[in-house]
Structure 1
């Protein structure tokens, strides 16, 4: 692994398919995977799927939860882990969703009931009681640990493929064509235009965006954004972490026909210069804090720096 300190943590059982990865600043990570019969009709295989959650920490990987269906999305915030489990509706068309929550760094998980949504692609933990979800034409929030959910109103059509839920100081932001920020649980929103065609991530004062077709990192200064040194051409930004003076940006190749080709870009001088580290991993990679990261290669090998 070219980036220093990333190590091979283990290998998933043969045949497991990874659906989601999340890293925490607390030095642990989560992997959502599924198993299904190797042969048979697609519908029957989907009905037989088993979802699994693995916890990676301190050089070891442990299976911490298993149930029917598959893991649709994961998130970590401090010691809180959240997962959206999905299973095929009895009719065979569409999915049912349910919330899983861990409050001890991913070691133990509790089911928190169904999430009534037409589709779900992302989950975001503010804490173990306040959780947000994003799906096609759906933005929702629970403030009571999943007992009840409220659909939130915001201009535009929700799309988890082009929009991102992110924590910001004092609230939650929906990123896409700018930043939409709510500090009152989605009751009201303020719009922040950063002069980019698409905003992908935000961490404190820093944003990752696509500007005139180019992956860029910028620093918000009042209502303006100061764009830092350009990144290599042909990259799509995925995940930005700004911590203790270090910027870390995860990108993938912009040409989907060439595979994900993830690269980690690191700046220790406020974005004046960048080093670039190729990661021989598949599409499921995540970063957290100044040093943590977790990813899975196409053969099920797990790599990262955890614990």
Structure 2
């Protein structure tokens, strides 16, 4: 494949030549498609092309994968659309008034968060509507409204956490939320929610690691002064430590295991048993490129396989092998639940 990659670089050079712009663009797309027609090897699976290449005006904002379904979202102005992804097609499944900020699923139930203008109050006032689907995204119903929320994490069909200007939890499927008090101020940009070990919920950020249980009534805190936590799943924490990006299982005496020295950040993490899957992207894309890298371990992080996916950083992972992403030209690649 080395000769093919060299040819691809030559074609990129030709693209920059004004006299060959149209010809170069067409040949680039053809060769790039030919190089990827056998899919992308991602550890224990191969991600294949999913349907026809999307037009630039229809490119996804975010991808989401659950136990049975995969979606992408698009928003424009105060409108959003949810598209279902199939092996050979994409289909518009639902539309919403407002910006669809995030999706999350657990036990076959999907939850979403829609931000839209408040009917009363200042022009910049927003309301945050929680929505729920019980049939894998076909039909959606409105649940409760919250204030200042930007992300959700579903732990079960009833327990849903929200993060924004404060930390909140719902125990009735997103109908009502109550505040969870922790030391320090919440930072919806730097902090994130994650699934911890044994049904716990993690709050990761500059303050370190908060482990929450019993719907937030009990919690513990670990400062993590030697690490910058970036993601968590299934009781495994991913962070930047001295020497690179590393993972650590949340058990006493567990060491940090560095899996890459690339100057990257973690954009996705999925853990099932000893299978650990990580997607990273360059911290400075103008210096180090735009391609997302995939890192795969089947022994809890002791040994790794690494793949330059040549996809954009917006990749979603789920379980041992499911996931979806796209290349710059708009072609989706992935391995879908049930596929």
TM-score by length of 2: 0.77
Matching of residues 27-176 of structure 1 within 5 Å: 27-35=68-76, 46=77, 49-89=78-118, 91-115=122-146, 117-118=147-148, 120-135=149-164, 137-168=165-196, 169-176=198-205
Residue of structure 2 aligned with 1:188, choices 198, 206, 218? 218
Cα 1:130–1:221 shift into 2, 3 Å: closer
1:76-130 deviation digits (Å, cap 9, x = unpaired): 2242211111123454314321111122333332222422x12x32111122322
2:270·2:276 contact (CA, 8 Å) conserved in 1? yes
Task: Check if 1:9 corresponds to 2:50.
Answer: yes
Name the structure with the higher helix share. 2
- Helix, strand or coil for the counterpart of 2:40? coil
CA–CA separation in structure 2 for the residues paired with 1:12 and 1:141:
37
CA–CA separation in structure 2 for the residues paired with 1:13 and 1:70:
21
Shift of the alpha carbon at 1:202? 2.3
CA–CA separation in structure 2 for the residues paired with 1:263 and 1:250:
6
Shift of the alpha carbon at 1:186? 1.6
Report how many aligned residue pairs link the two structures: 290
1:112-159 deviation digits (Å, cap 9, x = unpaired): 2422x12x3211112232211111x32122222232221221112212
Task: Check if 1:217 corresponds to 2:247.
Answer: yes
Structure 1: give runs of 5+ residues left out of the alignment.
Answer: 36-45
CA–CA separation in structure 2 for the residues paired with 1:285 and 1:270:
22
- Helix, strand or coil for the counterpart of 1:185? helix
1:19·1:71 contact (CA, 8 Å) conserved in 2? no
Cα 1:92–1:304 shift into 2, 3 Å: farther
Moved more, 105-114 or 155-164: 105-114
- Helix, strand or coil for the counterpart of 1:93? coil
TM-score by length of 1: 0.84
CA–CA separation in structure 2 for the residues paired with 1:283 and 1:302:
13
1:22·1:74 contact (CA, 8 Å) conserved in 2? yes
Cα 1:183–1:268 shift into 2, 3 Å: same
2:82·2:94 contact (CA, 8 Å) conserved in 1? yes
CA–CA separation in structure 1 for the residues paired with 2:170 and 2:328:
35
Name the structure with the higher strand share. 1
CA–CA separation in structure 2 for the residues paired with 1:64 and 1:93:
29
1:242-289 deviation digits (Å, cap 9, x = unpaired): 224322111111214356421110122332322211223333211111
CA–CA separation in structure 2 for the residues paired with 1:132 and 1:279:
32
1:152-205 deviation digits (Å, cap 9, x = unpaired): 211122122221111222231111233211112122321135554321222334
Residue of structure 2 aligned with 1:19, choices 49, 56, 61? 61
Structure 2: give runs of 5+ residues left out of the alignment.
Answer: 1-38
Shift of the alpha carbon at 1:12? 4.8
1:200·1:239 contact (CA, 8 Å) conserved in 2? no
1:276 alignment partner in structure 2: 306
Residue of structure 2 aligned with 1:289, choices 302, 311, 319? 319
CA–CA separation in structure 1 for the residues paired with 2:246 and 2:56:
38
Larger radius of gyration: 2
CA–CA separation in structure 1 for the residues paired with 2:285 and 2:103:
23
